[in-house]
A = this chain, B = another copy of it.
């Protein structure tokens, strides 16, 4: 499925997101990652890049069920607003330095120091969006 325009705008050219994967024993594993949004013929996908294998990527290879939260702008005196996404993830080999370069410009303001020039191809976590919750206007 696709995100609505408000959600697409919130993610923009990249954002911090909490990524939840499932450990072998079923417990949730959490980390905060850079997340990009890409349109594909099959719908929107959330994409995160990794220069090497991590517990989260091993988890996705074993169990594709993931969840993601992205916080909206926090306004003083208001409740936290956020997107909560459930999705189905897959690991794609390679492509990490290219995506990290784009995200570094957004997230760090520059790709001068990251990713390193000799970065390995790494891997991507690509997440098909199955369900969107959280707060309006992103979940409306």
Contact = CB atoms under 8 A, between A and B. Distances in A.
A39 interface: no
Interface string A53-93: 00000000000011111010010111110101110000000
Most buried by B among A32, A65, A80, A82: A32
Nearest to A21: B28
B16 A65 contact: no
Interface of A: 16, 18, 20, 22, 26-32, 34, 65-69, 71, 74, 76-80, 82, 84-86, 107-110, 133-134
Contacts of A69: 18, 30-32, 69
Give the number of copies in the complex.
Answer: 2
A28 B82 contact: no
Contacts of A79: 107-108
20 contacts: A16-B71, A16-B74, A18-B69, A20-B20, A20-B30, A22-B26, A22-B28, A27-B67, A28-B28, A28-B65, A28-B66, A30-B68, A30-B85, A31-B69, A32-B84, A32-B134, A34-B80, A77-B108, A77-B109, A77-B110
Nearest to A27: B65
